[in-house]
Amino acid sequence: MPAIFADNSQDLSPFLPWIGLVIAVVSLYASLRACKRRRLIDNLPTSKTQGVFIGLVELKGITKCEQPLMSYLTETPCVHYSYDIQERWSRMVTTTETDDKGNTRTVTRQESGWTTVATETESTPFYLEDDTGVLLVHPEGARIEALGVFDQTCTPFDHIYYEKGPAGGIMDSDGVRRFSEQAIPLQAPLFVVGQARERQDVVAPEIAADPQASEFLISVRSQEEVSSGLGWQIWLFFFLGLIAAPGGHVACDLARNQDITAISILIYVAEALLYLGCWLVGWIITVYNSLVELRQRVEQGWGQVDIQLKRRHDLIPNLVDSVKGYRDYEASTQEALAEMRKQLSATAPGQAGADFHSILDQVNILKEAYPDLKANENFLALQKSLSDTEQRIALARSYFNSIATFYNTRLEVVPDCYIAALGAMKPRALMEANDFERAPVEVKFATNP
């Protein structure tokens, strides 16, 4: 009886097909998930910090922080660090084994391994800086890919063994510890994908964790390296699942010393084809959903342009009123105001409309003609708002054209074009510069008699 139980406990062949099925399903999910993440990263155009609006964005820049952290092992100024200290152990283990005939024997062997004796991870909010400005990033909840800054194996004769590690040791310790640390130092180049939201303290966006966001990544790797790594994951898990789908059945037959017949081969091929079919269906769904999400981001990009145009349309009358109240009786000012109103009347909120550059030029002429305007706080604030709006419109237009270009390209390349045809997706026209600019308007200032 003991022999029977021992024999059954070691016979795993009935479970091998199920083990293969589980590995295939997990690999299928991992492959399609990596495919979804890669398409998301490839489809997102890189934004400038001053061009970030609400929604999922992709950014590149360097880290800035007024109160940085100090990493534990290397004491490097950083915005994120994670260290791990492991201690090696080894011991002799004695076990009793029973063979298939019911005979028992005592076996002594040596086992060894590593045990974590200290670990810590810490992050702090930081600013991402590029050539247009800075943007606040809250790293909590992000998938962080840091830079390896320390990796060393030590003995008690090394000062770091007890200086950075715990004073006591573990049972059966070999007196060997491995210290490793990853960090994001200051001035490190970063690639960030995350959800932008409005800040609570000032009128500005920030990047933070969002349960609804499909990705939140902070990486010291470049976009190309991240995309390439995901590409390797796609094919690694694909082939692992393709092997595991029939592999469990094959291993079961071999373990039972069964002959491989033509019927067995047909079963193996059918299992592999079933896996391929499931992967293909999942891939088509992933591609179609990514195209739909890309189309929604195109609409969102146009919506941000529309918001900035509306903002410009609302700012100009305020500036006009500010100048009018300051020089109500100057004929040249009145003439300039009339020209501004004339241009403004040519558009409605949310349309490209008036020549913004020409209006801004007229504002600068008024400022030089009447030095007192330079001291008017309302005038200076509105002028700065107009300058910022000009830059925001340019950034919003650039973002829309970038995301629309990605979308249009996807609709043309194979095999995306065939999948896009299922949803009757059409290309989106890009915005031309003349949609926002007009020929300069000549402003004539009347001379006082």
Q: How do the pLDDT tens digits run along the chain, 449 residues long?
A: 343 333 444 567 778 889 999 999 999 999 999 999 999 898 888 888 887 777 888 999 999 999 999 999 999 999 999 999 999 999 888 877 777 677 788 888 888 999 999 999 999 999 999 998 899 999 999 999 999 999 999 999 999 999 999 988 888 899 999 999 999 999 999 999 999 888 888 777 899 999 888 899 999 999 999 999 999 999 999 999 999 999 988 888 888 887 778 888 898 999 999 999 999 999 999 999 888 888 888 887 787 777 777 777 777 676 666 655 555 545 455 566 566 656 655 544 444 444 555 555 665 665 555 555 554 566 666 677 777 777 777 777 777 887 788 888 888 888 888 888 887 888 888 876 555 543 333 333 333 44
Q: Maximum CA pair distance of the chain?
A: 123
Cβ-contact 342, 416 below 8 angstroms: no
State both tokens at 381: 């604030």
Q: What is the mean pLDDT of the chain?
A: 81
Q: What is the DSSP-derived secondary structure letter of residue 364?
A: H
How many of the other CB atoms lie within 10 Å of CB of 153? Answer: 12
Whole-number Cα distances in Å, 384 to 377, 378, 388:
11, 10, 6
- Residue 164 corresponds to which tokens in the numbers above? 């950075």
Residue 408 has what pLDDT?
87
Identify whether residues 203 and 326 lie together within a single domain: no
Domain extent for 375: 287-435
83 Cβ neighbours under 8 A, 6+ residues apart:
71, 72, 73, 118, 119, 120, 150, 179, 180, 181, 182
Distances (CA, A) of 80 to 138, 193, 425: 11, 17, 43
Alpha carbons 377 and 362: distance in angstroms, whole number? 18
CB atoms within 10 A of CB 147: 17
Q: Indicate the residue among 202, 221, 240 that finishes a domain.
A: 221
Q: Answer yes or no: are the C-beta atoms of 71 and 184 closer than 8 Å.
A: no
- A 10 A CB-CB count for 13 gives 16
Q: Does residue 148 sit within a domain? A: yes
167 lies in the same domain as 68 = yes
Report the alpha-carbon distance of residue 400 to residue 357 in Å, rounded: 21
Other CB atoms within 10 Å distance of the CB of residue 402: 16
Please indicate, yes or no, whether residues 61 and 205 belong to a single structural domain of this protein.
yes
Gap between the Cα atoms of 57 and 216, Å rounded: 10
**For 72-128, what is each residue's pLDDT tens digit?**
999 999 999 999 999 999 988 887 777 767 778 888 888 899 999 999 999 999 999
Domain assignment present for residue 371? The answer is: yes
122-165 pLDDT, tens digit per residue, is: 999 999 999 988 999 999 999 999 999 999 999 999 999 999 99
* Pair 179, 89 in one domain: yes
**In total, how many domains does the chain have?**
2
Would you say residue 62 lies in a domain? yes
Cα 159 to chain centroid distance, Å, stands at 40
Boundary-marking domain end, from 190, 221, 252: 221
Would 446 be classed as within a structural domain? no
Question: Does residue 441 form part of some domain?
Answer: no
The angle, 0 to 180 degrees and rounded to 10, between the axes of the packed helices 223-255 and 16-43 is: 170
Q: What is the C-alpha to C-alpha distance for residues 354 and 351, in angstroms, rounded to an integer? A: 9
With 0-12 CB in 10 A as exposed, 13-18 as middle and 19+ as buried, what is 301?
A: buried
Let me know: does 115 contact 126? Beta carbons within 8 Å: no
pLDDT for res 440 = 36
**How many other C-beta atoms lie within 10 A of the C-beta of residue 199?**
13
**Tokens found for residue 96:** 């009793």
Residue 68 lies in a domain: yes
**Backbone dihedral angles phi then psi of residue 183, each to the nearest 5 degrees:** -155, 160
How far apart CA 78 and CA 348 sit, in angstroms, is: 49
Q: Looking at the structure, do residues 214 and 291 belong to the same domain, yes or no?
A: no
Last residue of a domain, one of 172, 199, 221: 221
According to the model, what pLDDT value does residue 353 have?
47
Asked whether residue 322 falls in the same domain as residue 210, the answer is no
Alpha helix (H) ranges present in 411-447? 416-422
- Residue 300 inside a domain? The answer is yes
| pLDDT tens, residue by residue, 369-389 | 555 555 456 666 667 777 777
Site of tokens 């059966």: 172
| Predicted local confidence at residue 208, as pLDDT | 94
Q: Would you say 324 and 337 are in contact if contact means Cβ atoms under 8 Å apart?
A: yes
Residues in the chain: 449
